[in-house]
Each structure stands twice: as structure tokens, then as C-alpha cells.
């Protein structure tokens, strides 16, 4: 094998090396069933020399890299073979499929970093406007997407640590954007956040980053940010060509939380009065709820509640650190405004926010316990979905002696509750920082799950190739509408949709 190295200056002044590997197609090496980066499948073919513009895939790795860099380069070479000659995936073992998915994720991040390099260089030579037009022409990007890509490339030049992790495939492009957005607002601990981004899914990392930012910003900074957010508030309504109306709005965090609480409560109220055999879809229910809230003079439903958490300073006898359930900190003025008509529920928590001396032997989850769960979990422990759409899960089932206490319950959304926990057999575990999360059971392979579906009998090739060969066909499924995951459409399982009151396990 021949490896050609070309030094290049990457984002933020970080020097990278481009490793180009070319392989002859004289044998079956590197095809289906052989994992990338090892054995004859990735490295066994004879090389062929190419020119500067010759074929072959380039892998970005930090300069001075050793065997690990060559492993990455071999992965890129294997990816080139997969793309050129798609393997028979139904013949590839499950662990190899998972390994390839992991590599595709790393490759996507590395390509995003390399694209940012290219965009930054075009912008340096011709200006940002020219770089946007280049993206629109070369990649058919929308104007908004091209502008975002140019902005991301410029910000990565000032964040070399983020650029390096992205180029190495250690973090996702979305996680990099989150860190860059936070860094634009305040001085975040990038190394700490990068370490979290490497180990957490994006939805959970978003909450980790938000908590970190909330710890750093001062009261004055919150006031400044809130004032800027209030200036950006807007709402518009427009009529479309077919006579339908489109409504759009943006609110500051407190106003948005109030609107959301009223909207979710109204949608829940409508859900309870619907015919179970003829339910609207969750988006339709939200539209009906919004119309009733705006057009009906009775106002918000009685069940609309806004949860605000605050600490009480016993020495100074005052409330401090007021925040919404998702961790958004409130200003002193906002706290005073909402405290005028607020009900107060006291609670004692330890340093990991686990309530002390709280436990009642009852199966139905009382409202006060749900509020304590909101204070501790903030939302779904598995995907950080909003607490308004979460159910209460008993870690130890009631039938097995589990009690309805704070220690034995947690908040989970519909999907994490019924799919991840009950269907796939994943378990509620505690992280080192004391928070609860959902993880595959320790006695099963990575990826979790109870029963594995047998591979379908097919003639090989990719899914697209098999679909084209089969031609159009009529569905054998019933006419009842289903979502993309096969669940009935009326079941409110998506994280942004309303769900009825929490149900017990």
C-alpha cells in the first residue's frame, strides 16, 4: 500500500495532513463482511500511483500521526470501495454494520471540517458573499444554508480545539455548532464541553452545555441577554396561495414557556374529549388548541402551569437563582413578576437534587411528586424532551414492590418509555454527576435490544437497488395511518407534541 501525505493548513491554524490511499481492484479485499481498518479487507490490495488530481479518498488526520492515522486512512480506502461497489449488507454481521456506522459518523464530521476549510479559503480570497454564491452553485445550497456554512467556517478559525476535534471525527458537526454558539455568548470551558460532546448524544449534550453556560453567566449578563431576546420577539401571519394561513412567532424564554404551558394544557384538554376512534393527529390537535386559545374568550385552561425553580437563602431570607424547569435562568424582574400569583411548593434536595424524606406508598403519581421530578430531571432522562410531554416511569415496577417515591421514579418521554425501556430492555442508570440516564443493559451487546429480527431474505444489493428491481407494489398494511416508525399516527410519541397526563408503568 502506498500512502501519500500532503500538508495543509486547517481551521484555526491547526495543521493537518491529508493521507491519500489508492488501491487496485484486483481482488475481493475490503468488500462486505470485513471490518474497516484491519485485516486484508482494508489493507490487502496492491496500491497504484496517482497524480495530484488522481482518484482515491483523502483522510484528514492530525500532523505527525502514527499507526492510528494509517488506520483512519485505511477506513477511508474501505469507504471508497463500499461506495464504488456496494456490499451485500444482509451478509455482513451485525457488529461490522455497527462499526461501519461509527466510521460513517466520523467521516461525516471530518468532511464537515474539510468543507469549512475550503469555504474559509474561498471567503479569504474572494469575500464571504462570493463564498456563499460558490456554495449555492457547487452544492445547490439554499441562501440561508450557504450563509450558515460561511459563518461556521469563520467561527471555526477562531476555535482551533473545536476544529481539531471535528476534523478527527470525535464530535458531530451539530455539537460543534452548539459549542460555537455558546462561545459567542460567553467564555465556555471548551475542553470540558468537547469532552462531554465526545461521550453524549446531541440532545443530552445540549442540556449539559446549557447547564454549563448557566453556571458561568452573571445576573448582569442574563439581563443583557434577556433584553436582546425581547428585542428579537416577533410574530407574523400570512395567507398562502391555497387559502391556508401560516402563523410564525418567536418569544423570549419566559413568554415562550408561558405560551407553551397554555398550549400543551389545552391540547391535553382536547385529547381527553376526543373520540378514540377518530382522533386528529398531534399537529392538528395543536392547531385546534391554538385556535381555541386565541379565539375563545375564556382564556387558558385551568391546568396550565409554569414550573419555576428557585433556591431560598435562609440567612438573607430571599429567593435566589430562579430558573425554568429546563434550566433557563430568570432575571430578578421576571422572578418578581411571576411570583405575584404563584403557588409555592417547598422541597429539600441534596447536592444531586434528590429529595430527602419524601415517600408515600401510592400507585398514582401525585402532582407534588411530578413537580419534584421536574425539578430533579428537568425533562426526559433519555433524550431531554420537555417535561410537559413526559410520563412517570417506575424504576422498580409496582407489582414487584416498587413504591411511588422520588427515588423510584423518573421522567421519560413516550418513545424512551415504551420503546427504549419496555420494548428494547434498556435500563435507567445513574451517571457520575448524579443524573439519571437510559443505557443498554450491561448483559447485552452494545446497541441493546431484546429480540433481534432475522435478516430478510433478499437478492442482495443495496435497499435502493432492491426497490428498483422490485418495482412499484401495493402496500399490504391496513389503511390506518402510521408514522415513520410504524406506530399509529394518533399516538403522541414525538418529543415536541402534547401527551396526556403521565401514566404509570
Q: Three-class SS string for 346-373?
A: CCCECCCCCECCCCCCCCCCCHHHHHHH
Q: Per the domain annotation, does 240 fall within a domain?
A: yes
Question: 397, 339, 345: which is closest to 366 by C-alpha?
Answer: 345
Lowest mean pLDDT segment, chosen from 25-29, 102-106, 186-190, 353-357:
25-29
pLDDT in tens, 234-261: 999 988 888 899 999 999 988 898 898 8
**Percent above pLDDT 90 for the chain:** 21
Q: Taking the chain, what is the end-to-end CA distance rounded to the nearest angstrom?
A: 57
> In angstroms, rounded to a whole number, what is the distance separating the alpha carbons of residues 440 and 383?
14
Same domain, 278 and 366: no
CA torsion through residues 310, 314, 316, 317, sign? positive
In whole angstroms, give the CA distance from residue 493 to residue 355. Answer: 29
Which residue in the block uniquely carries the three cell numbers 375564556? Answer: 298
pLDDT at 229: 87
Rounded mean pLDDT, 355-369: 58
Residue pointed to by grid coordinates 418569544: 251
Mean per-residue pLDDT, 6-29: 42
User: Which secondary-structure segment (H or E) carries 221?
Assistant: helix 219-231
Range of the domain at 17: 2-86+99-164
408 in the same domain as 293: no
| Domain-embedded: residue 471 | no
pLDDT band at 285 (very low <50, low <70, confident <90, very high): very high
What lies within 8 Å, CB to CB, of 241 at 6+ separation is none
Structural domains in the chain (count): 3
Reading the block at residue 298, the C-alpha cell is 375564556
Domain boundary at 344, 367, 396, which? 344
Phi, psi angle pair for 429, to nearest 5°: -130, 170
Q: DSSP letter for 329, please.
A: B
Q: Contact, 286 vs 498, CB < 8 A?
A: yes
| Segments of 187-307 assigned E as strands | 234-239, 245-250
Pairing of strands 308-313, 318-324: antiparallel
Whether 326 and 401 map to the same domain: the answer is no
Q: For residue 124, what are the contacts with CB-CB under 8 A and spacing of at least 6? A: none
Whether pLDDT at 313 is above 80: no
Domain final residue, candidates 164, 187, 204: 164
Arithmetic mean of pLDDT, 173-184 = 91
Q: What is the residue-averaged pLDDT of the chain? A: 72
Q: Is residue 335, in this structure, part of any structural domain at all? A: yes
Is residue 156 domain-shared with residue 43, that is, in the same domain? Answer: yes
Query: What is the predicted pLDDT for the residue at 363?
Result: 53
Whether residue 340 is contained in a domain is answered as yes
- Confirm if 151 and 158 have CB atoms less than 8 A apart: no
pLDDT at 14: 43
Does residue 14 share a domain with residue 138? yes
The answer to whether residues 15 and 150 belong to one domain is yes
In angstroms, rounded to a whole number, what is the distance separating the alpha carbons of residues 477 and 380? 32
Q: Tell me the CA distances in angstroms from 157 to 62, 63, 165, 166, 180, one per residue in order.
A: 16, 17, 13, 12, 11
- Confidence band for 61, pLDDT divided at 50, 70 and 90: very low
Helix locations, 378-429, DSSP H: 414
Do 319 and 352 have their domain in common? no
Query: Does residue 333 sit in the same domain as residue 370?
Result: no
Final residue in a domain of this structure, among 142, 164, 186: 164
Model confidence at 109, pLDDT cuts 50, 70, 90, reads: very high
Q: Which residues contact 465 (CB under 8 A, 6 or more apart)?
A: 86
Q: Please check whether residue 403 lies inside any domain of the structure.
A: yes
The answer to whether position 263 is within a domain reads yes
262-276, 433-447, 478-492 — most confident range: 262-276
Query: Most distant CA pair in the chain: distance in Å?
Result: 80
Cell 384538554 belongs to 269
The Cβ of residue 379 has, within 10 Å, a number of other Cβ atoms equal to 24
Looking at the fold, whether 411 and 503 belong to one and the same domain comes out as yes
CA distance 341 to 234: 27
| Cell representation of residue 111 | 468532511
**How many residues appear in the chain?**
505
pLDDT band at 345 (very low <50, low <70, confident <90, very high): low
Helix spans in 158-233 (H):
160-167, 173-185, 190-199, 202-216, 219-231
Look at residues 113, 327, 369 and name the one whose alpha carbon lies nearest to residue 204.
Answer: 327
d(Cα 3, Cα 76) in Å, to the nearest integer? 12
Torsion angle (degrees, nearest 10) of CA 421, 427, 430, 432:
-110
> Over the Cα atoms of the chain, what is R_g?
27
Within this chain, do residues 288 and 397 fall inside the same structural domain, yes or no?
no
Q: Going by C-beta distance under 8 Å and a sequence separation of 6 or more, which residues neighbour residue 253?
A: 226, 229, 324, 328
The residue that leads in pLDDT, 325 or 174, is 174
* 145 falls within a domain: yes
Return the pLDDT at 171: 93
Average pLDDT for 216-225: 82
pTM listed for this prediction: 0.50
Half-sphere exposure of 92 (CA within 13 A, CB side): 24
| Residues 377 and 503 occupy one common structural domain | yes
- Number of neighbouring beta carbons within 10 Å of residue 331: 18
- Lowest-pLDDT range, 95-104, 197-206, 456-465? 456-465
CA distance 287 to 309: 30
- The answer to whether residue 174 scores a pLDDT higher than 90 is yes
Phi, psi of 63 (to 5 degrees): -65, 150
Q: CA-CA distance, 341 to 344, in Å (whole number)?
A: 10
Query: Residue 274 above 50 pLDDT?
Result: yes
3-class DSSP string for 71-113: HHHHHHHHHHHHHHCCCCHHHCCHHHHHHHHHHHHHHHHHHHH
Average pLDDT over residues 477-485: 42
Return the axis-axis angle of helices 190-199 and 173-185, rounded to nearest 10°. Answer: 150
Does the pLDDT value for residue 432 go beyond 60?
yes
Does residue 190 sit within a domain? no
- Segment 184-205 shows an average pLDDT of 88
Query: What's the mean pLDDT in 152-165?
Result: 92
| Same domain for 353 and 340 | no
Amino acid at each position: 500500500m502506498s500512502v501519500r501525505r500532503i500538508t495543509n493548513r486547517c481551521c484555526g491554524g491547526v495543521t493537518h495532513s491529508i493521507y491519500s490511499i489508492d488501491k487496485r481492484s484486483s481482488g475481493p479485499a475490503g468488500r462486505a463482511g470485513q471490518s474497516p481498518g484491519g485485516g486484508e479487507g482494508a489493507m490487502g490490495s496492491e496500491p497504484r500511483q496517482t497524480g495530484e488530481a488522481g482518484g482515491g479518498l483523502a483522510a484528514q488526520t492530525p500532523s505527525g500521526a502514527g499507526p492510528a492515522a494509517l488506520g483512519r486512512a485505511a477506513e477511508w480506502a474501505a469507504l471508497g470501495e463500499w461506495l464504488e461497489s456496494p456490499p451485500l449488507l444482509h451478509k455482513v454481521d451485525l457488529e461490522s454494520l455497527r462499526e461501519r456506522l461509527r466510521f460513517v459518523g466520523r467521516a461525516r464530521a471530518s468532511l464537515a471540517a474539510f468543507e469549512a476549510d475550503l469555504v474559509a479559503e474561498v471567503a479569504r480570497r474572494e469575500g464571504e458573499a462570493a463564498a456563499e454564491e460558490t456554495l449555492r452553485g457547487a452544492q445547490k445550497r439554499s441562501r440561508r444554508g450557504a450563509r450558515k456554512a460561511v459563518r461556521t467556517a469563520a467561527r471555526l478559525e477562531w476555535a482551533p480545539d473545536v476544529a481539531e476535534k471535528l476534523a478527527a471525527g470525535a464530535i458531530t458537526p451539530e455539537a460543534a455548532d452548539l459549542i460555537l454558539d455558546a462561545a459567542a455568548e460567553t467564555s465556555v470551558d471548551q475542553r470540558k464541553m468537547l469532552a462531554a460532546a465526545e461521550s453524549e448524544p446531541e440532545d443530552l449534550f445540549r442540556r449539559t452545555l446549557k447547564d454549563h453556560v448557566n453556571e458561568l453567566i452573571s445576573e448582569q449578563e442574563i439581563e443583557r441577554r434577556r433584553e436582546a431576546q425581547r428585542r428579537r420577539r416577533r410574530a407574523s401571519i400570512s395567507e398562502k396561495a391555497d387559502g391556508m394561513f401560516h402563523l410564525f412567532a418567536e418569544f423570549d424564554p419566559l413568554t415562550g414557556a408561558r405560551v407553551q404551558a397554555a398550549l400543551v394544557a389545552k391540547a391535553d384538554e382536547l385529547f381527553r374529549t376526543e373520540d378514540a376512534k377518530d382522533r386528529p393527529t398531534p399537529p392538528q390537535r395543536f392547531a385546534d388548541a391554538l385556535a381555541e386559545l386565541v379565539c375563545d374568550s375564556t382564556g387558558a385552561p385551568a391546568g396550565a402551569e409554569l414550573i419555576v425553580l428557585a433556591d431560598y437563602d435562609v440567612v438573607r431570607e430571599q429567593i435566589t437563582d430562579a430558573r425554568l424547569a429546563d434550566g433557563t435562568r430568570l432575571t430578578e424582574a421576571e422572578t418578581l413578576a411571576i411570583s405575584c400569583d404563584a403557588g409555592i411548593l417547598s422541597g429539600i434536595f441534596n447536592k444531586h437534587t434528590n429529595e430527602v424524606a419524601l415517600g408515600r406508598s401510592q400507585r398514582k403519581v401525585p402532582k407534588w411528586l411530578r413537580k419534584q421530578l421536574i425539578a430533579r430531571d428537568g425533562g426526559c432522562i433519555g433524550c431531554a424532551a420537555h417535561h410537559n410531554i413526559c410520563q412517570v416511569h417506575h424504576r422498580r415496577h409496582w407489582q414487584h414492590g416498587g413504591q411511588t417515591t422520588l427515588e423510584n421514579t423518573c421522567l421519560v418521554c413516550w418513545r424512551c418509555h415504551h420503546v427504549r425501556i419496555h420494548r428494547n430492555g434498556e435500563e435507567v442508570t445513574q451517571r457520575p454527576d448524579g443524573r439519571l440516564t437510559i443505557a443498554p443493559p450491561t448483559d447485552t451487546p452494545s446497541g441493546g435490544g431484546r429480540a433481534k429480527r432475522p435478516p430478510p431474505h433478499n437478492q442482495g444489493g443495496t435497499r435502493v437497488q432492491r426497490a428498483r428491481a422490485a418495482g412499484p407494489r401495493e402496500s399490504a398494511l391496513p389503511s390506518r395511518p402510521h408514522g415513520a416508525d410504524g406506530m399509529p399516527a394518533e399516538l403522541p410519541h414525538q418529543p415536541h407534541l402534547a401527551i396526556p397526563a403521565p401514566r404509570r408503568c
